[in-house]
Every structure is written in C-alpha cells, then in structure tokens.
Structure 1
C-alpha cells in the first residue's frame, strides 16, 4: 500500500491573518512528521500519535499546550486513539497536567484492559506509567486567558455555542501494511463547566478506525457530534458504498440540519483514498500521499507541494 496521512487543526469560525501562516505551518509540520514515519515503514498508530503530539506541542492549536480554559481558568484535555487492525482503542478525559494526552490515550489502549480513563484515574495511571507531570500553568497561554475573559463577558454565549469553540486536532493514516488508525485531541470548549467532556475521547464520535472500512477524525461542536455519532455515521455511509466525500457531506449535513451543529472530518479509506470536509467557516488541514503534500485552511485555499 502507498501510505497516506491526513491531519486537521480543528474547525474554526475565524482565524486571524496574523495566525494563519503559523497555523498552516503547524499543520504541515504535523503531516510531514506523520508521513515520514509511514515512509520509513512505521505503523499507522505511530504516525497518527506523532502527528497529533506535534499539534499538542504547538500553542496555536486547542490541544495540549494551547488548550482553551474552563470556567475556573484551568486546562482539562480529552484525547482518543484507535487501531483499525484489531479495533483496540484508548481514551482519556479531563486530563490536567500532561503535555501530550494522546500519548496517555495510547498507553490506555496498550497497557490496560480498558478503553477509557478519566480525571484522577487517568492521572494515577499516567504517574504509574512514568508520564512526566507538567505544571498546569505551563499549558495555559496568554491568548486563551484573554479568550476566557471575552467569553465570560459576552452575552448569549451558550446560544452561540454551536457556531463557536470548534477547535480540536486529529490525524488519520494508512500504513504500508494496510492498517488504518486515527487520533484526536482537544482542550474542549472555552468557559466549559468543570468536568465537561465532549466528543473527542468518545470512540465513534471523535473518531473511528477499522481496516475493513477506513479511518476518520472529527472536529466541531462536541455535543452535536456525540448526538449523531458523527465518526461512525460517516463510515457507515462508506460501508454502504458512498465515496468518502459523499459520506462526509451526508453525515455533516445531517448534523447541521438536525442540530445546527457545525464540524469537519478527515477520512482515509482502506484503499488509500482520502478526503477533507467541513461546514464551519474554515478548517486547517494537510494530507500527504506519494510524497505530495496537499494543504489548506479555507474552502478555496488548497496548495500542493512535493516533499523531498
């Protein structure tokens, strides 16, 4: 198989001009890291984990360092990962003092009999696994402090919720052995209640991977995504014979018409086809196949370059 990796940086209602280039470079960097792993014979799971970790380490994205803040001004992060070879999966939620929640989610997948650990249990497991604890303040950025202050002062913040707070990062990949995987990570939504968990760590909502179909990672309004099981819904349409683009359009359209929820998806099929679709204003993304790097942020904004 020709390996493929696709990465997204979350749906967005607006990305300022001064941030756009930094966001674009961050996405391209993550996709390149993931693809280089695949090109050297690495697994799809390794590729998606590494690509997402790059974005967690980049303060421009709502995951890891750069996560948005809850009502108390604290970071609470969610992540999940899945191996399409055997449907093994790992997820964590309400994680506070870990630099890379996606790495902790993979440890849950590979080192426990469970799929999902949360909050204090996830923290104890991280400590037991030797995952370094980082000070919570280290994950907080000045931009997100200002975002929280702005959100608290805005009227009708809850009503705007479906249209805003769409930031998540994710990756899907197909490796040379025909295995697929996905990984998704987020800081959640600005000004959320303490303990709020969205779609990102929920298998079938924040993502899904099955070698018999393909892999998908989602982004968008978490409560809407959970209500329609967006990831599994889109792959169901692929199973029914729809193209990746058709499956994405149908499932995103259903979520928008039923719930007014906006979002985006990245997909890769078992045959190595890939697609990116979104209903939010924009979604930073990058995809690499056959050493050709495709990337974009807005609907009519796609560039193609050759990787060395």
Structure 2
C-alpha cells in the first residue's frame, strides 16, 4: 500500500535528449528552454491537481510542447529530406493498456490528440500517413497548413544535413515564416529530438505519451520509436509509465519502454534502477544514445540518459517543480 509520504499525483516531462552541453546554449536560450519545460509541466500538473486523469495530464502537457517551436514536435519539427514535416505520436493508458498512435501526420496540429483519438474513435492502435490525417479530420481535430510547423533553425539544419549527403535542398514550404521570437532561439541538439510526458493521478493510474518530428533529413518514410508502443512509449498500472527520446532505431530494437516496465514488474527493480539498467547499460552497450522518463503507480519518479543533456522537468503533489537540462543537475 502507498505510504502517506508518497505523492497523490506526479508528473515528469522531457523535451528531448542529445548534445546539450553547458556553454552551447546562450543564457537567453537556457532561460527560454527552462521556462518552456516549466510551462508544460505546470499545464499537466494543473490537470492532476484538479483531480483529472493521468491521460488528460499527459495530453495537456504534450500539447503545450507541440505548440512550442523550441522542440522537435509539432511546430518546430525536424524536416524530411523532401522538406516536409512528418509527425509521430503515441499515448498509453496504464489502467487498461489502451494505446493509440499515429505516424507521418502532415496537417494535424496536435499529434498527441490524434493518437488519443485512435483509442477513443477507432478499433486500431497505429494509423499512418494520409490515412492518419484523414482520421484526425474525421474526429474534428484542428488542421493547419504544412507551413505552420516551419521554423528557420530546423530548416538550416536540414540544409546542412543535405549538403553532407550530397542531396539537393528542396524549396521551402508555402507559408514558411522568418525566424522571430522563441523560434529564433532553437538549439540544435543533434539527431535526437522528442517530447514526452508520464503521469500518475490521484487514483494511482499511470499514463505515458510521446510526440516527435523525427530525425533531421530522414528519408523513405522512416518511422522511429515514438509512435511504437513498447519501444518509445509504454504504461501499465502493474509496473510504470515510460516515455523515451533518442536514436529511435536502438529503442525499437531493445523495446526500451516495455523492457523497463518488465524489470519493475517481474525483476523487482526500483524504477530508477530499471531505467538505469536499460539506458546506461543495455542501450549504451548496443551503441544507442538517448534517455527516458518514468513514473510508477506509487508516485516514484525517475529519469536516465546517456547523452550530455536532456530537457526535463518533474513535479508532484507536495513537491516543488524541478527543471533540469544538463547531466550534472539533479
């Protein structure tokens, strides 16, 4: 049984892991990233504080991150080699293992809401490409022109990557806006970029969600771990909820999110020990880079990453909000 000192609710969020080193971010960049992570975490916490569900909190927090051009998800997503933004997301309910996911969205403003709609409006788990956008439209989800997702810094990253590959740079999407405000402060964290949230509500239910724009200059309809249940996202009330960020191919091969849950449920590891075993040992041994966030039904929170940094935040009932970026922060 939960102890009186354990939180009634808890939430952890990430904004991607990668090459994020002290000194690489200007003071202004660091400040806006910390503020953005705090805003998203507080959005989810407000839901939980009001007695809302873990699923509602996860969706609310991720929608904030999808709208923020600082992150590789929704507005601010990375570009494919063809100059498109193809968006992936997944969400899972630990109460009943209900899961929904979408891959390759191009016009749906909030991929995480589309993923949840797959649970509530279909009999499927994963929808992709044009069909996923068509489904989102059928569910009344907001649609935008592709240029909405454009940010100049991500486009420059695409130009650089295509130059190294010897590929032609496509024309900019219609409606592409010049850099301004927060969009001009984007930090290129490397090949990895994802947002995710895990939560535990006052009922003891857990949920996890992940959203991404994928890898920079990806080709051939590549899909990473973010929309794959068990790889980038997993949640079960018998174990924990996990969201991942990093080199997706490695997370898929290891089934990272599900593997962490298995270690908690069947091997008796603490949440932090399970995260560390998979990320610091198994993922690292395979050559993969990235990180995870997790929360357990008893309110325990954890994160682990083998990169130099990961944008992250945590907050719980009776505990203050904590936002971190670098490896040497708590």
**TM-score between the two structures when normalised by the length of structure 2:** 0.87
CA shift, 1:212, in A, is 1.0
Distance 2:220 2:88 in 1: 13
2: distance between equivalents of 1:132 and 1:236? 37
> Could you list the per-position Cα deviations for residues 63-85 of structure 1 after superposition, in whole angstroms to 9, with x for gaps in the alignment?
00000000011100100000000
Structure 1 residue 194 displacement after superposition: 3.9
Residue 160 of structure 2: aligned partner: 150
The one of 213, 232, 238 aligned to 1:206: 232
Aligned to 1:256: 284
Which residue does 1:160 correspond to in 2? Answer: none
Counterpart Cα distance in 2 of 1:121 and 1:130: 14
Equivalent in the alignment of 2:242: 216
Number of the residue aligned with 2:184? none
Residue 16 (str. 1) matches residue 16 (str. 2) = no
2:145 equivalent in structure 1: 135
Aligned match of 2:321: 293
**Distance (Å, rounded) in 2 between the aligned partners of 1:152 and 1:189:** 13
Q: Could you tell me how far 1:13 is from its partner in structure 2? A: 1.0
What CA deviation, in whole Å up to 9, does each residue of 1:6-55 have, x standing for no partner? 00001021352242221111111110110110010000000000101100
Aligned to 1:306: none
| TM-aligned CA deviation for residue 255 of structure 1 | 1.4
Partners of 2:233 and 2:243 within 8 A in 1 = yes
Count residues in correspondence: 296
Name the counterpart of 2:274.
247
Normalising by structure 1, report the TM-score.
0.93
Query: Could you say what secondary structure the match of 2:221 adopts?
Result: coil
Q: 1:43-192 maps to which residues of 2 (within 5 A)?
A: 43-154=53-164, 164-192=190-218
The structure having more radius of gyration, on CA atoms, is: 2
Q: What secondary structure is seen at the aligned counterpart in 2 of 1:297?
A: strand
CA contact (8 A) 2:90 2:227 kept: yes
* Between 24-33 and 9-18, the greater mean CA deviation after superposition: 9-18
**1:273 — aligned with what?**
300
Alignment check: 8 A CA contact 2:110 2:142 kept: no
Q: Is the 8 A contact 2:209 2:243 kept in 1?
A: yes
Deviation at 1:171, TM superposition (A): 0.2
Summarize the Cα distance change of 1:192–1:42 in structure 2 as closer, same or farther, 3 Å threshold: same
Instruction: Give the alignment's Cα RMSD to 1 decimal.
Output: 1.6
Alpha-carbon distance in structure 2 between the residues aligned to 1:41 and 1:194: 43
2:222 aligns to what SS in structure 1? coil
**303, 306, 309: which one pairs with 1:282?**
309
**Structure 2 gaps, min length 5:** 1-6, 168-188
Instruction: Compute the displacement of 1:155 (Å).
Output: 6.3
